[in-house]
C-alpha cells in the first residue's frame, strides 16, 4: 500500500464506522491528553463537583471523593481508549464482538440517550453563556446558536474536534486559573474546608459522581483514538487519556465544590445561576465576557464529542440491519443534524430544575454503562486478548452472529444486581437505605458482571487465532 497524503483540513471527514486504513492514520498520542483535558475544563464538570457539596458533603471530603471517583472511572475509560489504535474502529462497533451484530443495539440505544442527555444539559448552560456574550434576551437564542456551532464542528469531524480540544485546553487553563485566583482573593477558601465532619454516605456520593462522569465517556472514547497509527503504544494511549481526563475533570470539579461551599451570606449564589455566578466571580464587565467565552469553548468541545459519538451510534444501529460500513456525507449531515435538533428541543423544554435532574441523570447512567464496560474490557483484554475479526463485525451471519446470549445475559444480571444498591429520587434500594443513602451500585455492577461474564465467555467465545483486518486497510510490514 502506497503512503497517502492525509485529506486537507478544510474537507469534511469521510470515514465513519469503517476501519481507518494505515495510510490515513496520523497524530501523536498526546492529542488524547489535550482533547480530554479540554473536554473536561468546562462548566458542567464544575456543576458535577458542586453537586457533591450541594447534597451534603464537606468541600474537603467532596474533593477527595471526586478524585477517587475520577481515578477509578478514568482507568476504566482509558482502557477503552487504548483499543482505538489497534482496532481503528469507533467504540460501539467493537462491542458487536461481545454482544453480536444485532445484540449490540441494546446498549447502543441507551448510549444514544446518554449523548442526548449530556448534549441537552450542556446546551442549557452553554446557551446561557452565549446569551451573555451576545446580550440576547431570550434563552432560546443562545441554545440555537450553540446547537449550530456544535453541528458545524461535529460535521467536519475528527481533525477539527481534536483541534478544538487543543484550543479548549489553553483557554480553559487560562480562564479557570483566573477564576480560581479571584475565588482565593474574594473568599476565605481555607474556611470553606473541614466545616462538616466526615460522612460516609455523602463521601460515597462524591465518589460516584466522579466515577459516573468518567464511565459515561467509555462508549465513545475510542472514537477519538482510532486514527492514531496502529503501532501506537497502548500504554502511552492509556496514560495520555487517563491523565488528560482526570486532571481536567478534577480541576473543574474541585472548583465547583469550593464555589458551592461559599455561604449565601458571602455571595454564594451558584445554585440560582451557574453561568452568571462565574461571571460575577470573574469581576463583571470584560472579564465576565471573557469567562462566558471560556464556558462556550469548553462546552463546545464536549458537545461536539456528544454529537459525533451520537452520530456514530445511530449509524452503528442502522447498519446492523443494512450491513453498510460507511455513510455518505449527506447522510452524515442528516444524522448529526437530527441528533442536534433533538438535543436542542430537549434543552428548550428542560431548563427548569436543571441541577437536580442532572444529578439523577449522572447516577442513573452508571446503572446501565458499568456492566457494558465490564463485558467489553473483560472480552477484549482477557478473553479475545486483542484479537478481533473486524470484517465479521459488519456481518450478522459471520463469526459473532446476530445475538450473543452470554454477553446479553451477563449484562442484564449486572444491571439487575445494582437495584438494591441504588439511591435515587425514584427508587432507593434496601441496601442503599441501610448505608444511609450511599450509592455504590456502580461498583456492584462492575464486579458482578465481570464475575458472571468471564468464566462463561472463556468456555464459549469464538476467538480468532490472530487479528483480522479488512483487505487493503493494513500496510505491509
Strand partners, 428: 423
- Lookup result for grid cell 451573555: 132
What is the grid cell recorded at 245?
481526563
Q: How far apart are CA 133 and CA 125, in angstroms?
A: 13
Find how far residue 457's CA is from the centre of its chain.
27
User: If pLDDT is split at 50, 70 and 90, which confidence band does 331 have?
Assistant: confident
113, 31, 6, 388 alpha-carbon torsion, rounded to 10°: -60
36-47 CB burial, b ≥16 within 10 A, e <16? bbbbbbbbbbbb
Average pLDDT score over the chain: 87
Q: Are 159 and 170 in contact (CB under 8 A)?
A: no
Q: Phi and psi (nearest 5°) for 471? A: -60, 140
User: If pLDDT is split at 50, 70 and 90, which confidence band does 362 have?
Assistant: low
Question: In this model, does residue 343 exceed pLDDT 70?
Answer: yes
Q: How far apart are CA 305 and CA 230, in angstroms?
A: 22
Where exactly are the structural domains of the chain? 28-363
Q: How far apart are CA 40 and CA 390, in angstroms?
A: 32
Question: In this model, does residue 346 exceed pLDDT 50?
Answer: yes
Quick one: what percent of the chain has pLDDT higher than 90?
52
- Lookup result for grid cell 458545524: 152
pLDDT at res. 375? 95
Q: How far apart are CA 320 and CA 390, in angstroms?
A: 14
Question: In this model, does residue 258 exceed pLDDT 90?
Answer: yes
Q: Are 144 and 344 in contact (CB under 8 A)?
A: yes
From the list 396, 389, 336, the residue with the least C-alpha distance to 104 is: 396
**Helix or strand or coil: residue 397?**
coil
Q: Are 252 and 45 in contact (CB under 8 A)?
A: yes
pLDDT at res. 457? 94
What's the Cα-to-Cα distance from 20 to each of 14, 15, 122, 312, 475, rounded to whole Å? 10, 7, 30, 14, 11
User: If pLDDT is split at 50, 70 and 90, which confidence band does 359 have?
Assistant: low
Instruction: Give the tens place of pLDDT for each residue, 78-104.
Output: 999 999 999 999 988 999 999 999 999
Question: In this model, does residue 202 exceed pLDDT 80?
Answer: yes
Most confident among 104-113, 165-174, 282-291 (mean pLDDT): 165-174
- The pTM score is 0.90
Domain 28-363 sits in CATH at 1.10.4160.10
Backbone torsion region of residue 283, taken as left when φ is above 0, otherwise alpha when ψ lies between -120 and 50, otherwise beta: left
Amino acid at each position: 500500500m502506497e503512503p497517502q497524503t492525509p485529506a486537507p483540513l478544510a474537507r469534511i471527514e469521510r470515514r465513519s464506522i469503517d476501519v481507518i486504513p494505515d495510510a490515513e492514520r496520523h497524530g501523536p498520542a498526546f492529542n488524547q491528553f489535550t482533547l480530554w483535558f479540554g473536554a473536561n475544563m468546562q462548566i458542567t464538570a464544575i456543576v458535577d463537583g458542586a453537586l457533591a457539596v450541594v447534597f451534603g458533603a464537606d468541600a474537603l471530603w467532596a474533593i477527595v471523593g471526586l478524585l477517587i471517583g475520577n481515578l477509578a472511572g478514568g482507568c476504566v475509560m482509558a482502557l477503552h481508549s487504548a483499543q482505538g489504535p489497534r482496532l481503528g474502529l469507533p467504540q460501539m462497533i467493537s462491542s458487536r464482538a461481545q454482544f453480536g451484530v444485532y445484540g449490540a443495539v441494546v446498549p447502543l440505544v441507551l448510549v444514544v440517550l446518554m449523548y442526548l442527555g449530556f448534549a441537552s444539559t450542556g446546551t442549557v448552560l452553554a446557551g446561557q453563556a452565549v446569551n451573555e456574550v451576545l446580550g440576547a434576551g431570550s434563552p432560546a437564542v443562545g441554545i440555537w446558536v450553540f446547537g449550530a456551532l456544535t453541528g458545524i464542528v461535529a460535521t467536519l469531524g475528527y481533525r477539527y474536534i481534536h483541534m478544538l480540544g487543543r484550543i479548549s485546553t489553553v483557554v480553559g487553563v487560562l480562564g479557570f486559573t483566573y477564576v480560581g485566583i479571584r475565588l482565593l482573593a474574594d473568599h476565605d477558601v481555607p474556611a470553606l474546608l473541614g466545616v462538616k465532619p466526615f460522612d460516609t454516605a455523602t463521601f460515597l456520593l462524591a465518589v460516584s459522581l466522579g466515577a459516573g462522569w468518567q464511565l459515561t465517556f467509555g462508549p465513545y472514547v475510542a472514537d477519538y483514538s482510532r486514527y492514531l497509527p496502529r503501532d501506537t503504544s497502548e500504554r502511552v494511549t492509556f496514560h495520555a487519556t487517563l491523565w488528560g481526563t482526570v486532571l481536567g475533570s478534577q480541576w473543574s470539579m474541585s472548583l465547583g465544590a469550593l464555589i458551592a461551599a461559599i455561604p449565601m451570606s458571602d455571595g454564594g449564589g451558584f445554585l440560582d445561576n451557574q453561568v452568571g455566578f462565574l461571571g460575577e466571580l470573574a469581576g463583571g464587565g470584560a472579564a465576565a465576557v471573557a469567562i462566558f467565552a471560556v464556558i462556550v469553548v469548553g462546552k463546545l468541545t464536549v458537545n461536539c464529542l456528544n454529537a459525533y459519538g451520537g452520530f456514530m451510534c445511530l449509524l452503528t444501529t442502522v447498519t446492523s440491519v443494512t450491513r453498510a460500513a460507511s455513510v455518505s456525507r449527506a447522510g452524515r449531515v442528516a444524522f448529526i443534524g437530527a441528533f442536534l435538533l433533538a438535543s436542542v428541543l430537549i434543552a428548550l423544554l428542560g431548563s427548569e430544575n436543571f441541577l437536580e435532574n442532572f444529578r439523577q441523570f449522572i447516577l442513573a447512567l452508571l446503572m446501565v454503562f458499568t456492566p457494558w464496560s465490564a463485558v467489553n474490557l473483560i472480552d477484549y483484554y482477557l478473553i479475545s486478548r486483542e484479537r478481533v475479526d473486524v470484517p465479521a463485525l459488519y456481518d450478522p451471519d459471520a463469526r459473532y452472529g446476530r445475538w450473543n446470549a452470554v454477553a446479553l445475559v451477563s449484562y442484564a444480571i449486572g444491571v439487575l444486581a445494582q437495584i438494591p444498591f441504588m439511591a435515587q429520587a425514584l427508587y432507593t434500594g434496601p441496601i442503599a437505605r441501610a448505608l444511609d443513602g450511599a450509592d455504590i451500585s456502580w461498583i456492584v455492577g462492575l464486579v458482578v458482571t465481570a464475575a458472571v461474564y468471564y468464566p462463561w465467555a472463556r468456555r464459549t467465545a469464538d476467538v480468532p487465532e490472530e487479528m483480522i483486518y479488512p483487505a487493503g486497510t493494513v500496510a505491509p510490514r
